[in-house]
Amino acid sequence: MKKHTLVLLITALFRLSAYAQAPQEFIAFADTNRVHMIKAYEKRDIPGYQHLLDEFKLHWDKLDSTSQKAYSGYHIEAYYNFACTYALAGQPKMALDCLERSLKAGYVNYTHLVHDEDLVSLHDIPRYRALLAPLREVGDYPYILEKGARYDPGDQRPFPAFQYQAATDTNLLALRKGLDLDSIAGGGSDVNRVIRLLHWMHDLIPHDGNHANPAVRNAMSLVAVCKREHRGLNCRGLAIALNECYLALGYPSRYVTCMPKDSLGTDPDCHVINTVYIPSLRKWIWIDPTNDAYVMNEKGELLGIEEVRQRLITHQPLIVNPDANWNHRSAVTKEDYLGYYMSKNLYRLICPVNSSYDLETPAPGRKVDYIQLLPLDYFRQKPDRTTYNTNNPTLFWATPN
């Protein structure tokens, strides 16, 4: 069992799913209990682990259904780790019972499961193979992404052209001056300036996936509120704030909601990053303020979202910048970040039609339209009242005017 991978699972579930206030008492207990569970796992202490699990269940049963859904990662990991403990102790039936409980609770990391050395002793058992088979269709994210590889470059369904607010807009001018963005971006190439802004935003505001963003969602206000209240933003808030900073410096930019296929309707998690058009490269590039990350090919050339998606599908080399990290607490690895987390969330992509200041602050009569890029494999192709759908990546990634 690679414990950091399971922590990533919990973190991923928290990033956008937990909009409600966290039940702090439960979280404090669960974090402490989890440490003791890992120690029991390491000692193969089945009675000790069972006692800890019984305590966990008492606290878990007191949560309302909304909190159980939002913090299901704790529940999933508790049973998964017990499955590993039983398997290592040579008790396959109990191991499979706990593994089944973890799967029913929402465990979906197929790739980790099949490569987990703790569970190798179960691989030839028919019940293990039976449990694994349906998981592949919903939890083997590279496999699901490969099935969703096909687009339709001939799709000409109409949708509005993407619009990018001019840097001469009064709000963007005030943002540029108020946050001293020219000094932060510094001199040099457009690539260097864009990456410096990425690092600055990542260092300025921590990622906090456990809380909703403030009601006023523009960069000036978000930065001020986070500083005043010593708080962070979820990935959407970070991408919105950074997006407006890029616009203020004249770089066409969008924030992109990266979504899973979620054929069962049970995965509330997604991830929001930025894409910035680099004039000198004549291309869009991947920028992720949550993880201070950008992505390159084997030559060190910066890649865009669609290029990363295609390289994941065709198993071509990908490199994440070595200083990528989450809140300066844990390093971001290619295997977990791209191979697992973003393989899941690059299935479909959504952007607002208008990339502009203060777009998502609620206001009477305000309507925000979105454009969604869908693979042909997706089961729901019809648009809704605020979202245009397309299967045409060329139009979705059109060069800005």
What band does 14 get if pLDDT is binned at 50, 70 and 90? very low
What are the residue boundaries of the structural domains of the chain, listed by start?
3-139, 154-396
Q: Which two tokens stand for residue 228?
A: 């005043």
What Rg, from alpha-carbon coordinates, does the chain have?
22
Which residues, including other chains, have CB under 8 Å from residue 113's CB and lie 6 or more apart?
107, 119, 132, 135, 139
pLDDT in tens, 308-319: 999 999 999 999
Q: What is the per-residue pLDDT across 233-254, written as a single tens digit (0 to 9) for each?
A: 999 999 999 999 999 999 999 9
| Per-residue model confidence as pLDDT tens digits over 43-56 | 999 999 999 999 99
The answer to whether residue 230 scores a pLDDT higher than 50 is yes
- Residue-level pLDDT at 166: 98
